[in-house]
Amino acid sequence: MDGLARFAVFVSDTDNGSMNPSSFETFSTQARAEGFDEVIERHWEPDTVLDTHTHPFSAKALVVQGQLWLTVNGQTQALQRGDWFEVPQGVPHDERYGNEGATFWVARRHAT
């Protein structure tokens, strides 16, 4: 995980403790207070696969339903409800969603 940690951060719900917001509104308020400029809810259909790609923004997200596998730097992490992940701007990664799909709340910070 050491090589992976410098590219993406994965935090389980047990590690994040009281930081898990109970509503999208709370998540959005917290994210904007941290300097994120866009906050959205993403829904992914079952078994969706996104090959290696990058984003023009940094992302911090909370999985609220389903399961996904995020691969960064050759390391894959399974994420499920209550798990957080962060991917910095421009970092190549793959995404694969489970047979129920997935929903996550994501805060984005665009470069200025």
CA-based nearest residue to 82, from 6, 27, 8: 27
| Res. 23: pLDDT tops 90 | yes
Across 13-22, average pLDDT:
58
* CA–CA distance, 111 with 58 (Å, rounded to integer): 8
* CA–CA distance, 89 with 101 (Å, rounded to integer): 24
Distance of CA 108 to the CA centre of its chain: 10
Question: How much is the pLDDT for 9?
Answer: 58
- For residue range 49-73, list pLDDT tens digits in order: 999 999 999 999 999 999 999 999 8
Question: How much is the pLDDT for 111?
Answer: 82
Q: Say if domain 2-110 classifies as CATH 3.30.460.80.
A: no
* CA–CA distance, 97 with 110 (Å, rounded to integer): 25
Domain positions in the chain are 2-110
- For residue range 80-111, list pLDDT tens digits in order: 999 999 999 999 999 999 999 999 999 999 98
* CA–CA distance, 104 with 106 (Å, rounded to integer): 6
Residue 87 belongs to what H/E stretch? Answer: strand 84-87
